[in-house]
Amino acid sequence: MKKYILYLLVACTVSLVACNKTEETKDLWAAVIVPASPISESTPLTGPVKGTMLAGKTYTVVGDIFVNTGDTLIIQPGVTVNFTGTAGVPVGVGVKGTLLSLGTKENPIMLTYSGVTKTDQLGSNPDLDPALKGKWTGIIGATTCPLIVIKWTHIEFGGAAISSAMKSFTGSSSPYSVYFANPDGSFILEDSWIYGSVDDPFRINGGKIHVMRNTFEKCGYTGGEAMNSKAGTIGDFAYNLCIGIATNGPKVSNINVAVGKPGSNVRIFNNTMINCGYRRSAAGRGGSINFEEGAGGMAYNNLIVNCKFGLRVVGTPIADTANLKYGYNFYYADSISVASQFIPSLSVSTAISKPMETDIPKPSTYLPSGWAIGAVYTAPASVVGANNPLFINAPVPLPAGLMLRDIAVVGNYNFALKPNSPCIGAGFIGFSPRADVIQDLRLGATEITPPGKDIGCYQSNGRGNQH
């Protein structure tokens, strides 16, 4: 009997230990993380906000919302935010604190204006296009905003005029879909989409940036760059697809840099730019890549197709040419007029871009004998239609009956490269990203993708743009 009781005690002890171990394991590996300050979707939003917009919920914003200094607004995967306003008055989000829009590939976030039908038919009139009207304001960062992170997020129909309340809160009157202006802060935009805007879809006035693997469509009505960076902006712009932008893809300037801050320097590599520059109202501007007024950086491995101008190094006010490197960029044109601006001229575009024999086609194959930097030239007919990049499915050559400005969205096109594309293996990888921001799944870059061996934003190894 004593022996039986002893066995029973041992069994109970083992059972208790096993239960404790199970509970310890459960606590360690299956802990439930409660979102910080969940925000209810049942009440329309206006005024100060902080906390977490919960995954899969739909929120309605009826007045400007504000993230105060020291506060954080987190937007979880699958959230839709409709910036509807009240009585037709545009609204947006002003940020003095931190904004984290953390979508995923499977569950992207949508920041939009509800009830608008996209007008993406080929040849549609831009004067009537709601994408270029500005239905809501956008994300407006104040100079005190330390961090904005936007991942796997759709931003549509932004760029409406800023309200007096938004101007008072942020100190900005800039009507951009995304605006960041802290020279000591960090801005991350990756794997996202910006569709439509009145002017620049996003403008950066200083700070560290990481802009990778995004898609910019139909941005800017009569002017606007995919990225307009100024005032000491440093970082990387890579693996982005820019199509139908009013002026340029990325532009870098050092105007208005704060005393003691570094000069603007952005590495622009492995981007694809399609049909940009054709809604720009001013002459001599727009097309692909722009370095001006004291700005330096790099521009390698960019695929520039039917854009109004090639890479533009501005001579007045002059770019930081001592700290500017470029080459291995691929150009394609469907007309002599476009091919004659692969290297923009000084008289037409105040440009002093140098010909680079690493470019495709080699400038020596189309520049006339005795050509000087900045001089006007007429490209030979042999350049037109040559070096087709061989996209999987794209309007190249330009379909009959269409103008270049008519194609401004991705739609059903696929700008990835066919296996026999001349862009595959033609890139230059002898440099590194600046990598000015941290890598972090929430508070920084998910991946700082290094230069790719294939020219353009899509890579045959599956890296680069994921859209």
CA distances from 126 to 120, 121, 190, 406, 446 (A): 10, 11, 27, 9, 36
Q: Of 182, 199, 215, which marks where a domain is finished? A: 182
Residue 72 forms part of a structural domain: yes
Residue 238 forms part of a structural domain: no
Do 304 and 170 fall within a single domain? Answer: no
Do 141 and 66 fall within a single domain? Answer: yes
Q: Which of 60-64, 124-128, 148-152 is predicted with the least confidence, judged by mean pLDDT? A: 124-128
Could you tell me what percent of the chain has a pLDDT over 70? 93
Residue 199 forms part of a structural domain: no
Q: Of 182, 216, 233, which marks where a domain is finished? A: 182
With beta carbons less than 8 A apart as the criterion, state whether 211 and 240 touch.
Answer: yes
The residue with greater pLDDT, 230 or 346, is 230
Q: In whole angstroms, give the CA distance from residue 1 to residue 14.
A: 20
Residue 20 forms part of a structural domain: no
Do 94 and 175 fall within a single domain? Answer: yes
What was the pLDDT predicted at 236? 99
Do 457 and 380 fall within a single domain? Answer: yes
Q: Of 153, 182, 211, which marks where a domain is finished? A: 182
Residue 212 forms part of a structural domain: no
Do 178 and 250 fall within a single domain? Answer: no
With beta carbons less than 8 A apart as the criterion, state whether 257 and 233 touch.
Answer: no
Residue 117 neighbours by CB under 8 Å, 6+ apart: 130
Tokens 């982005």 locate to: 240
- pLDDT surpassing 80 at residue 311: yes
- pLDDT surpassing 70 at residue 30: no
What was the pLDDT predicted at 87? 74
**Would the CA dihedral through 207, 213, 217, 222 be positive or negative?**
positive
Do 334 and 432 fall within a single domain? Answer: yes
Residue 27 forms part of a structural domain: no
Do 176 and 257 fall within a single domain? Answer: no
Residue 368 forms part of a structural domain: yes
Average pLDDT, rounded, for the chain:
91
Do 278 and 164 fall within a single domain? Answer: no
- pLDDT surpassing 90 at residue 285: no
pLDDT band at residue 175 using 50, 70 and 90 as cut-offs: confident
- 245-259 tens-digit pLDDT: 999 999 999 999 988
Which two tokens mark 247? 């002026």
What was the pLDDT predicted at 56? 97
- 205-237 tens-digit pLDDT: 999 999 999 999 999 999 999 999 999 999 999
Which two tokens mark 141? 């960062």
Domain range for residue 118?
35-182
Do 164 and 270 fall within a single domain? Answer: no
Q: In whole angstroms, give the CA distance from residue 413 to residue 408.
A: 11
Q: What is the mean pLDDT of residues 293-312?
A: 97
With beta carbons less than 8 A apart as the criterion, state whether 293 and 314 touch.
Answer: yes
Do 53 and 143 fall within a single domain? Answer: yes
Which two tokens mark 399? 């379909």
For residue 448, give the nearest of 255, 250, 212, 234 by alpha carbon: 212
Do 169 and 258 fall within a single domain? Answer: no
The structural domain count of the chain equals 2
Do 165 and 313 fall within a single domain? Answer: no
Residue 24 forms part of a structural domain: no
